[in-house]
Amino acid sequence: MHNTSTLTKARLFICLFSTFILATGLLFSNPAAYAENTVAREPILVTGHSNPDTDSTASAIALSHLLNQLGKSAVPMTQGPLNPETKYVLERFSVPAPELVGNVANRNIAIVDFTDTPQAPAGFDKANLVFIADHHKLGNVTSSSPLEAWILPYGSTATVLYQVYTYYGIPVPKDIAGIMLGAILSDTVIFRSATATDKDLESANALAKIAGVDDIAALGMKLFAIKSDISQKGSMELLQRDYKEFNMNGQKIGIAQLEMTDSTPALKRKAGFLSAMKDMKEKTHSQSVLFMLTDIMQGNTTLLVVSDNPQLIENAFSKKIVNDEMKLPGVMSRKKQLIPDLEKAFRK
């Protein structure tokens, strides 16, 4: 009895189905299902990580524009003041700086260039996460509903977002193309970083064309000249400029990086940096504070180390710490050349 009844229902269903659904396809008019997760009329706050850099800032602006083009209301935000390089990029392409983000509890949120909760704004654990674009290792953020996450191993989040624009067939406006180009050049160290891929070069060339930038390398060098000028900056300010916190097997580790076209002036300020690192370690109750002084012309890093367990840092890289520093030839990427070895050492 049940078999017959099921079969009859099935035949009826197939008939209705073939006629209405497959023939028309009109029932599916919603182009992106995650819209259903967002609270109606409330804009999505799009933000990069704490201590914003050029990639996280440009990517927040780029994703915000894309979401608006897809019919969601979104606004770009920043978690802190912009560094001189980022300010230059926004001014050069006439893009206004994002506003400071407040507590994001009970708000819709999209995050770019990070997936670790220590780098998220206050109230993040009570926010509704709807979108992620990133190019780092996957951190500990989670969501309560299906979301959209584009995490691709390219040299910058701007490169990832250029793929998302292409996927949705949304044109990149001229001004946003300019800041995305700046983000790629900054994050890939003008394609010299170990994280740089052919997609970064391809995307940069396409974005330069849209933005009307003829000399990509000259723009890149201008950015690094701005970043390299540390003469007017205090030690703590430079330490904090690109400082990221990580949780490694339960231990809090802070890792800062300065990328310079010439690291000589920075190396002369080592004593001041070590003092700032000790203050930072105490203030943040960290197990270690590391500072990468990266010379992008020479392609190497001097790592300053303040740690409760220097032996562990030495083990991670099979190198000795001499006078609070470790020479790391060929190392330019925190994400790809420092973090994985450190995490392995901390897990042992």
Minimum Å distance from CB 282 to a copy of itself?
28
Residue 316, interface with a copy of itself (CB under 8 A)?
no
Binding test (CB under 8 A) with a copy of itself, winner from 32, 97, 105, 267: 32
Closest CA to 334 of 297, 276, 292, 273: 292
Closer by beta carbon to a copy of itself, 194 or else 236: 194
Q: Which one of 6-14, 52-60, 93-101, 304-312 is the stretch in contact with a copy of itself (CB under 8 A)? A: 6-14
Which residues are CB-contacts of 311 (< 8 A; sequence separation ≥ 6)? Answer: none
Number of residues this chain uses to bind a copy of itself (CB under 8 A): 77
Which residues are CB-contacts of 292 (< 8 A; sequence separation ≥ 6)? Answer: 255, 256, 257, 258, 301, 302, 303, 331, 334, 338
Residue 139, interface with a copy of itself (CB under 8 A)?
yes
225, 261 Cβ separation under 8 angstroms: yes
Binding test (CB under 8 A) with a copy of itself, winner from 88, 93, 124, 154: 154
Q: Is 138 helix (H, G, I), strand (E, B) or coil?
A: coil
Closest CA to 44 of 110, 141, 111, 123: 110
Residue 148, interface with a copy of itself (CB under 8 A)?
yes
- Rounded Cα distance, 178 and 180, in Å: 5
Site residues (CB under 8 A) for a copy of itself, limited to 159-178: 163, 167
Minimum Å distance from CB 100 to a copy of itself?
26
Binding test (CB under 8 A) with a copy of itself, winner from 135, 227, 244, 281: 135
Site residues (CB under 8 A) for a copy of itself, limited to 90-119: none
Residue 246, interface with a copy of itself (CB under 8 A)?
no
Binding test (CB under 8 A) with a copy of itself, winner from 196, 274, 290, 345: 196
Minimum Å distance from CB 234 to a copy of itself?
18
Minimum Å distance from CB 62 to a copy of itself?
19
Q: Which one of 94-102, 137-145, 174-182, 285-293 is the stretch in contact with a copy of itself (CB under 8 A)? A: 137-145
DSSP per position, 183-247: HHHHHTTTTTSTT--HHHHHHHHHHHHHHT-S-HHHHHHHHHHHHH--TTS-HHHHHHHTEEEEE
Q: How far is CA 323 from CA 221, 228, 270, 274, 303, in A?
A: 32, 24, 10, 11, 11
Q: Which one of 78-86, 100-108, 221-229, 299-307 is the stretch in contact with a copy of itself (CB under 8 A)? A: 221-229
